[in-house]
Amino acid sequence: MAEGDDKKVTIDFGSGGRPATGSATGRGGGAQAAMELGKGLDVGTANLVSAVQDAQGNLILKSQRNAFIDIDADDFTRNMLTKLNVQYVVVNNRMVVIGDPAFELANIFNRPTRRPMKHGLISPDERDALPIEKMLIETLLGPPQTQGEILYFSVPADPVDAAERNIIYHRGLFEGMLRKLGYNAKPLNEGHAVVFSELADEDFTGIGISCGGGMFNVCVAYKTIPCLQFSTSRGGDWIDNNVSQVLGVSPSKACAIKEKGVDLRNPRNREEEAIEIYYRELIKYTLGQIKARFEKGQNMPAFPDPIDIVFAGGTAKIGGFVECVQTVYEEIDFPLRVKRFWRPDDALTSVAKGCLVAAMSDE
């Protein structure tokens, strides 16, 4: 498994109710201790995560749900939000709450949150996506320490199963937004970021997979250089939607069951069995896509030694994930020899950390 390094890791979830630990960086990234130059940002469908390093080498990670909710701007709601100490902005006479608190308010009001992104990209269905995304990112990152500070942000690789996805547009939007905030913003494929953060001990050789909410992103790398990168449109949301259909419950209920401690090795009831079936299919699909590309591709690397395959991202957090991968691997005649499959201890922050590694080496 991944060895944690000996540097202190601080995770600050902002004012969303979860405790901040270690040095107080605050929700806005405002309290400015001396930081190394360079920042990493994971732009995810479900979560936004930022990573910086302070002068002592401590890693500072912040995370917010990539979500918002708008509520009628009346006195009752305004008082309630003030009492709950929830920050809001008023847009077109409606009160808008962003990030983790939006998620909590959605539970209180029993309403879904609105999501600026869908399937790994800025959502075409959400007209307020851009200004909200800008607010969320500004709050998370704070201003650059110097004009033109280098920031790497994650983008999906080209999809194998959804030709119409417009990644160029998505990448351009975020690049423009981050540049306006004063950063020298550079895109980094999400799977490549996993290679940077998790495969240093392997000389950055192997396969990094980010298992997200909207998609999976795969990067096959040889000594840091990506030789094959792609994304698929199946991720945690795909599991939730399928489980929701077969069980006749809402996708958010299916998601809640999934996140509540299922072990794929030992499903305890019909719901958990459905989750296990779709997880197995998802893993088979992902390994099958890598296999297909290796079998038909030219210029594929011939790895002299067995390689590591590392699975980061929230969807890999389910119990028994790695064991399920191992079982599927033994069933499909996989074209590469694998030394080990593993999942980092902190799977949700791998992409942001990989973006930081890229930014700091660039600075």
Ligand X SMILES: Nc1ncnc2c1ncn2[C@@H]1O[C@H](COP(=O)(O)OP(=O)(O)OP(=O)(O)O)[C@@H](O)[C@H]1O
**Smallest distance from Mg ion to CB 313, Å:** 5
**Which of ligand X, Mg ion, none binds 236 (CB below 5-8 Å, type-dependent)?**
ligand X
**Smallest distance from ligand X to CB 197, Å:** 13
Candidates 38-46, 94-102, 265-273, 323-331: pick the segment binding Mg ion (CB under 5 A). Answer: 38-46
**Smallest distance from Mg ion to CB 315, Å:** 9
Cβ contact 12:49 at 8 Å: no
**Smallest distance from Mg ion to CB 190, Å:** 5
Cβ contact 179:185 at 8 Å: yes
Q: Are strands 117-118 and 121-122 parallel, antiparallel or unpaired?
A: antiparallel
Nearer to ligand X, 165 or 258 (CB): 258
Query: Judged by CB under 5 A, does residue 236 bind Mg ion?
Result: no
Residue whose Cβ sits closest to ligand X: 236
**Which of ligand X, Mg ion, none binds 106 (CB below 5-8 Å, type-dependent)?**
none
Nearer to ligand X, 214 or 354 (CB): 214
Nearer to ligand X, 129 or 348 (CB): 348
CA atoms within 13 A on the CB side of 72: 4
* Cα separation, 261 vs 18, whole angstroms: 19
**Which of Mg ion, ligand X, none binds 315 (CB below 5-8 Å, type-dependent)?**
ligand X
Nearer to ligand X, 71 or 274 (CB): 274
Query: Judged by CB under 5 A, does residue 187 bind Mg ion?
Result: no
Work out the angle between the directed axes of helices 321-331 and 270-296 (0-180°, nearest 10).
Answer: 50
**Smallest distance from ligand X to CB 63, Å:** 8
* Cα separation, 282 vs 300, whole angstroms: 24
What angle (nearest 5°) sits at the alpha carbon of residue 204, between those of residues 148 and 191?
Answer: 65
Nearer to Mg ion, 86 or 283 (CB): 283
**Smallest distance from Mg ion to CB 240, Å:** 16
Residue whose Cβ sits closest to Mg ion: 212
CA distances to 140, 210, 306, 325, 349 from 343, rounded to whole Å, are: 26, 10, 17, 11, 12
Query: Judged by CB under 5 A, does residue 99 bind Mg ion?
Result: no
Nearer to ligand X, 101 or 156 (CB): 156
Residue located via tokens 């969807």? 315
Residue located via tokens 């075409």? 124
For residue 347, what are the contacts with CB-CB under 8 A and spacing of at least 6? Answer: 211, 311, 312, 313, 314, 316, 317
Core vs surface per residue 51-60: b (16+ CB within 10 A) or e: bbbbeeebbb
**Smallest distance from Mg ion to CB 48, Å:** 10
Region 194-213 residues binding Mg ion, contact defined as CB under 5 A: 210, 212
Work out the angle between the directed axes of helices 190-198 and 350-362 (0-180°, nearest 10).
Answer: 80
Nearer to ligand X, 38 or 214 (CB): 214
For every residue of 186-224, DSSP letters joined together read: EEEEHHHHHHHHH-GGGTT-EEEEEE-SS-EEEEEEETT
Nearer to ligand X, 47 or 244 (CB): 47
Binding site for ligand X (CB under 6 A): 44-47, 120, 190, 210, 212-215, 235-237, 255, 258-259, 313-315, 317-318, 348
What angle (nearest 5°) sits at the alpha carbon of residue 342, between those of residues 339 and 346?
Answer: 150
**Site size with Mg ion, rule: CB under 5 A:** 3
Of the residues 14, 38, 40, 44, which one makes contact with Mg ion according to CB under 5 A: 44
**Smallest distance from ligand X to CB 295, Å:** 26
Q: Interface with Mg ion by CB under 5 A: which residues?
A: 44, 210, 212
